[in-house]
Every structure is written in structure tokens, then in C-alpha cells.
Amino acid sequence: MEIVSVTGGQAAFAYLRGRILSGEIPGNATLREQALAEELGVSRTPIREALRRLDETGLVEFVPNKGATVIAWTTEQMRETYYLRAMLESRAAGLAAVRIFDGDLARLADLITLMDEFVLAEDDAGISRLGELNAEFHRIIVTAAENAQLTRLTVSVGRVPLMAKAFRRDSGSFRAVSNHHHRDILTALLSHDALWAATAMRSHILAARNSVLSWDQGEDSVGAPGADQSVDAHSLDSDAIDAADLADLADFTP
């Protein structure tokens, strides 16, 4: 796995973003600069940078010198986000069908085989590895579309909170179906059939939407760092952090 050197602000952003998107930091939680800085073992400057970036991605509402409030996503907002992702990524798949290189197709096939090893994983390491492979699969297709504007729009839509938790909780059944969808997408890409590839990707994203929206959101959430719960500062390593955590398209959205 690629390791990159990052700034404190990048590391704090990646860490807090992951906690928010997993649902561990719930909507309406308050993130205070000073408390976060003390708990994560950094100065307020990288925390402020991280909160500003979280504000730009639509995950928090940031007020300088005070902190930020995590935006609570409604069911309708999550539904609309998946519709947008379905439109954007299906378009990317359609373009990729006629532009993708053989090397990328071979890598997609390898990724599907690798994901098969982890679809039934129950440990965090195995599920995290599956997420990394899944992220690479989608990233290759979006990149293969060779459309910078489409890539920027896809990134701007972002991830839906709770996707990571839903990805973990389903005992492998949805993950197995998701990887079967990957095979359908690859078959369409191999056929260079733009309509088929776009349709397969759209169905795939909307299936992920249904999985998230069917999850019982009444499950208890873990308290937010900077509020009621302390954070293990060892988890925040500003010198070496998984590159997947920093990639805008690195997510659990299958």
C-alpha cells in the first residue's frame, strides 16, 4: 500500500473525514479547534485547515475561532447524492468503454479477483483492504473517461456518511453482490459498449444507495472527538498516512 508524506492539516482532514463518513462522528456534533488540537496532539493551525476543508466538502459548517458543526444528512440528501453519483459515474463508465486502455482493463480484472478474497471478511483489516481495492476499481474507470470536468464533478459530490459502516455490517452478502456488479461492468467495458457500461454502473451505484438507505440509522453512534470522547492520538500520523485516505475518490461506495 502506498504511503505518502502529508501535512498535519491533511492528516487531520483525512482522519476526521473518515470518522464523519463512517457515522462515528454523528450529525450535529460540535468539533472545537482547541479540544481537537489537544486530543490529536497538534496545534490549532492544522485543525483549522482540516475544518475548512471539511466545510468545503459539505461535511461540516465551519465558523473560524469557534469550530465546526457536523452537518446532519437527511434521507433525502443521501438519496439525491446517490442519484448524482449514479449519473456521473455512469457517464464516466460510458466514456471509458471507448477510451480505456488494455492495461486498465487487465487491472480491473485483477482487482475483482483480489476483492473476491475479502468480500466475506469480518475483520477490520480485511474490510479495509476491500475498500481500498474497490476505490481503485472506481478510480480507474473515472480516470479512463479522460474528462477532467467529469472527474471534478464526481469528486465534488463526495461520499455519503454511513457508507463505510453499512459496508461493514452486512456480513458479506451485499459486498459479494457488489463484486458481481463489478464483473458486469468489466464485461461491458471489455465489449466497448458504452450504453451497457453506463447502465451497469448506474445499477451498481443505485444498489449501494438502497443498502445505505435500508440501514437502521437508529443504531447508537460513537461520540465525536473534540466533544465528549477522547481520540487516540496515535491514530493521527502526519508523516505517514494511507494514500487511500487522502484520495478524493477513495471510498467504500461500491
The pLDDT profile of the chain, 254 residues, written as one tens digit per residue, is 333 344 678 888 888 988 887 778 888 899 998 899 998 888 999 999 999 999 888 889 988 777 899 988 777 877 888 899 999 999 999 999 999 999 999 999 999 999 999 988 888 788 878 888 998 999 999 999 999 999 988 877 766 665 555 556 655 777 888 999 999 999 999 999 999 999 999 999 998 887 766 654 444 443 444 544 433 433 443 333 333 333 333 343 44
Enter the C-alpha cell of residue 234. 496515535
Residue 253 lies in a domain: no
CATH assignment at residue 49 = 1.10.10.10
Residue 100 lies in a domain: yes
Enter the C-alpha cell of residue 175. 459486498
Amino acid 165: pLDDT: 58
CATH assignment at residue 174 = 1.20.120.530
Domain that holds residue 9: 3-26+28-71+221-246
Q: CA-CA distance, 251 to 27, in Å (whole number)?
A: 19
Amino acid 86: pLDDT: 94
Q: Sort strands 60-63 and 67-70 into parallel, antiparallel or unpaired.
A: antiparallel
Task: Please indicate, yes or no, whether residues 112 and 167 belong to a single structural domain of this protein.
Answer: yes
Q: CA-CA distance, 93 to 156, in Å (whole number)?
A: 18
Task: Please indicate, yes or no, whether residues 53 and 155 belong to a single structural domain of this protein.
Answer: no
DSSP element (H, E) containing 63: strand 60-63
Residue 251 lies in a domain: no
Looking at the structure of the chain, the number of domains it has is 2
Amino acid 107: pLDDT: 98
